Structure 1
């Protein structure tokens, strides 16, 4: 390309053909054609045939000769143009800088016109604002505001439960009265009609409350974001903003609520070393607690202290994760049954679970197509060993919940091996954790959330030893493949465990892992 625009040239296409009566007499046709020709040669032939009344039997011959003419002349045109440009370049007659700038301009215009417009999303802006404010003096007030939102929602949930309980009680008394009068003043048809009416009333009540709860959650989410951005704006203009003089003071702390101490737990902590040459230091904890306590939010202290650490680490590279044993259907996850507060940073749990169901349906059905008919009849597209993940900002000790799909019947047996689907699922979880900045992980040591009759002391020791040894290898494998280092590993056992089994499990950890100990130097007599 030069600074001057290339001009098309006009070439004359000549075509001759004999008359019908005398082949010695030729009709000569001359048609000017612009080279390069951007149109269709077949269309030009049709126009020539109609304009000059040329017999239609000459169409094929005319098509062929015109196409060859345009092709040959176009080639000559480009050869001449390129030779001229090369001579100009040799003689320094071309402004190279001008050519480059022109191409740059055209490229930018093309990108702006056709490329997808991308910029910082609202979610990224909100995340940055929240991360900055929680690492400022406004942290306590932020937690107080979130606690006030949570208590408003929990009060509505309490009112819903009371309303449905009252409705159920009235319906129960009405049904009992109808049944008592059966075959005297009422019939079975009337009882069935009443049962259908009761079911419809229950559905309407549940739908009405669900609608009110969804509306409250959306209102709180929008108000929280608007309020937080306003607080950030003032914080940036006045570096001395504190909870007492910021716009957040419209949510004063509730000093009437006493601090509730955390319930006592059985807990042991160890510092361990993994690796033979390049040793890695990790913290491992043995805790007797209900897994659902790690997935709950405590607002009894007005949010001042119970959620400080989760809030500080929410948008960081040190996330906390929990492994929760779940059913084959995400909608039946234990986490879905608990009362949920407003989620200000991620989609609501119900929305996340619905999206998971939609996303895993097609790939899981393809994978399960070869499964037996009996396996398909058990329902669910997921099977034991599969894992799905949900994100949270309102849990006590977790940002990420890894839902491990398990089969309760197989886990009741004490003879599982390292190839069991649940063990392989733990391997995938630890690998995913290291690849996604999850540096603290809590998992069920016995692969059970509750103590049952078959879980004897010997059963617990065998299961714990298998899980610990497998986890040890998985952590080494995951850390060797790059990513974040798993700094803290929490082995959780059910709270109903006996003292003897607890002591045995605490003694098992130093046997499986290399526990760091003090170096004792003896005095040498002089």
Structure 2
């Protein structure tokens, strides 16, 4: 019978003291450190060893000896921990213990042994099969449905924004009307403003419910369509009928393209430079880096408006083919960006919650133009005004994003170089250069750290090294001299691959 004390300890970490005496001839040093067993991914063993060096003021002479001893200590304690749990559960089973006394995961195991794979895994396999084996005609229908659902969601979003803007204008007019010329507030205006605020809340809640219902309906329809193609090799009847009745091709006029070319020609501050870089001192790894400007990070998630329908369909097909691959593309915007723009047929819903500065929450997307993963970095207003150091929580958030990218097969990530969306008056060339140098050096170190491990993402065997494509994005309304100085700064931090002269 497994004891209550053991049940409480099953699956929980426990603290163990590491004690060791390092000796060299007549010199010795005693080391002690409390650590939790088992270790977690958030606290790698190399970081703990470095912390031991600092807290115990270890002499460099004993670094290797203490590191080897701590590795052996962790292996031994982890083995004891797992053995104790396994023995306790086996003894309880042999003694005929009541199943109600077992840990939750033990009670759930018999129910899961014969179940089918999860719905998410089934859909991923089905979706990849359809994308790789369907005829061009069927792929066109699938993409047409995606665009139709996108238009439905955007129409609802526009209606919501129109209603809210109208109510905000009413509130502004009511506030102005409630104040007399001598700055006295009219008492009767308070009730009117309360009614307007209540209407705004009702409109917001109403549209939030409509968006949720439309998202659920579109996702269910889309997944059923993929499932029908996979299992029955045909579209559902309602899919073909509805699409043929409602879908009309949307053509872009040539004036749109010409206007874009004019705007692009007028812009003198555009920047798009690519580099090939080496990382590492002995075992070097090669990566691609890119410096570019953009009005907003969200613009990188949407297709350009001047693309023809066939071009958009081609880009969409390419996105679908790489959706479940090991070459995913990510973006690191501020956490306050609006991601509820379209139905996310393959990805996850986002639940907003309060998180401390520097935290990351990750969302997966199937509906964006060129991004599948978004690392939402939680920031505060001080990030845009104050000078920061490498110990700032947001810098640690970047580190976590890069480590997670290496672990999960995300090979391309886009970072706002200055950690701001738009340029402001206080962003002098000196301020921008300090911030850019800090981000360059930190990202370089984080990439070197990430390359020391291997990818554990699905779709193939673990890779020994990771190849990154990193995009550094700058606001396009900065001073022109700042772009030139940042271009000169880049080769001083990163080791460039020599150019081949023909």
Q: What do you get for the CA RMSD once the two structures are aligned?
A: 3.5
Task: Name the counterpart of 1:452.
Answer: 424
Task: Name the counterpart of 1:120.
Answer: 117
The DSSP-based 3-state class of the residue aligned with 2:125 is: helix
| Per-residue deviation, residues 339-392 of structure 1 (Å, max 9, x unmatched) | 51111112333x3x3xxx3xxxxxxxxxxxxxxxxxxxxxx5513x32222222
Separation in 2, partners of 1:399, 1:274: 26
Q: Point out where structure 2 has 5 or more consecutive residues left out of the alignment.
A: 1-106, 265-269, 456-462
Match of 1:220 among 198, 218, 221: 218
Separation in 2, partners of 1:318, 1:123: 20
Distance 1:335 1:297, change over 3 A: farther
1:434, CA displacement in angstroms? 0.3
Q: Is residue 2:132 matched to residue 1:132?
A: no
The DSSP-based 3-state class of the residue aligned with 1:307 is: helix
Whether contact under 8 Å (2:157, 2:341) holds in the other structure is no
Distance 1:410 1:304, change over 3 A: closer
1:204, CA displacement in angstroms? 2.5
Task: Give the TM-score, by structure 1 length.
Answer: 0.61
The DSSP-based 3-state class of the residue aligned with 1:394 is: coil
Whether contact under 8 Å (2:377, 2:394) holds in the other structure is yes
Separation in 1, partners of 2:390, 2:362: 23
Q: Is residue 2:281 matched to residue 1:286?
A: no
Task: Give the TM-score, by structure 2 length.
Answer: 0.63
Deviates most, 258-267 or 452-461: 258-267
Q: How does 1:483-498 map to 2 (within 5 A)?
A: 483=455, 485-498=466-479
Whether contact under 8 Å (1:288, 1:494) holds in the other structure is yes
The DSSP-based 3-state class of the residue aligned with 1:491 is: strand
Q: Is residue 2:311 matched to residue 1:311?
A: no
| Per-residue deviation, residues 48-71 of structure 1 (Å, max 9, x unmatched) | xxxxxxxxxxxxxxxxxxxxxxxx
Larger radius of gyration: 1
The DSSP-based 3-state class of the residue aligned with 2:361 is: strand
Task: Name the counterpart of 1:335.
Answer: 337
| Per-residue deviation, residues 414-443 of structure 1 (Å, max 9, x unmatched) | 4x3333322222222211110111100111
Task: Name the counterpart of 1:254.
Answer: 249
Deviates most, 285-294 or 224-233: 224-233
1:506, CA displacement in angstroms? 1.8
Distance 1:213 1:512, change over 3 A: same
Task: Name the counterpart of 1:270.
Answer: 275
Distance 1:500 1:141, change over 3 A: farther
The DSSP-based 3-state class of the residue aligned with 2:430 is: helix
Deviates most, 424-433 or 254-263: 254-263
Task: Name the counterpart of 2:398.
Answer: 426
Q: How does 1:12-161 map to 2 (within 5 A)?
A: 114-116=110-112, 117-135=114-132, 136=134, 137=136, 138-161=138-161
Q: Point out where structure 1 has 5 or more consecutive residues left out of the alignment.
A: 1-110, 238-244, 326-332, 358-379, 522-526
Task: Name the counterpart of 1:389.
Answer: 362
The DSSP-based 3-state class of the residue aligned with 2:356 is: coil
| Per-residue deviation, residues 274-326 of structure 1 (Å, max 9, x unmatched) | 2233321111000111212124466775542443443222111111111123x
The DSSP-based 3-state class of the residue aligned with 1:334 is: coil
Distance 1:170 1:410, change over 3 A: closer
Distance 1:315 1:246, change over 3 A: farther
1:140, CA displacement in angstroms? 3.8
1:480, CA displacement in angstroms? 0.5
Whether contact under 8 Å (2:148, 2:247) holds in the other structure is no
Whether contact under 8 Å (1:441, 1:486) holds in the other structure is no
Distance 1:307 1:217, change over 3 A: same
